[in-house]
Homo-oligomer: A and B are copies of this chain.
Amino acid sequence: MIELDGFDRKLLASVQADASATNQEVGDRIGLSASQVSRRRQRLEAAGVIRRYRADIDPAAVGLDVIAFVGVSLATHSPQNASRFQKLIKALPEVQEAHMLTGDMDYLLKVAVPDLKALSSLISDDLLPHEAVQNVKSFIAMETLRDDNQLPFESP
């Protein structure tokens, strides 16, 4: 695990909110020169703290009007079952997030699809037929209040 000082944390907070800012702008914001921002940024990229840069796209603008969460329970909890299921969800393009959970649901998926028909077909044609899957429960997002996925940075 890499050591992060106050500048690193401010830098990370800045670029996770807006990666289109130039090193000069970031530097002005956090009190550092552009060259230092560049050097620190490279270090954080190499260390894997910054995993990648992405464009955040409005789902509705590309025809993806349904965001839903799908809770999945597996039939049995054998390692083979789990790995087969994990392979499946890594291959499904509609899946935006997939987490293995504590509690009564085994997995929680966040999916983006054009309409309810597509959600229904994802569940009926892709998830339920899979041997490892016992049952699924879906929750449709009527409204997304936040989806910025911003991590909080402690003050120290």
Contact = CB atoms under 8 A, between A and B. Distances in A.
| Total copies of this chain within the assembly | 2
Interface in A31-71: 47-59, 61-64, 67, 69
A150 interface: yes
Contacts of A95: 146
Contacts of A2: 61
Interface in A2-25: 2, 4, 9, 12, 15-20
Interface stretch (A73-81, A86-94, A126-134): A86-94
Contacts of A107: 145
B98 A146 contact: yes
A84 interface: no
A107 to B, nearest CB: 8
Q: Please classify the interface of chain A as helix (H, G, I), strand (E, B), loop, or mixed, using the class held by over half of its residues.
A: mixed
A90 B145 contact: yes
Nearest to A59: B151
A53 B52 contact: no
Contact of A140 (B18, B102, B148): B102
Contacts of A58: 48-51
Of A49, A54, A100, most buried by chain B (CB within 10 Å of CB) is A54
Interface of A: 1-2, 4, 9, 12, 15-20, 47-59, 61-64, 67, 69, 86, 89-90, 93-103, 105, 107-108, 110, 112-114, 139-154
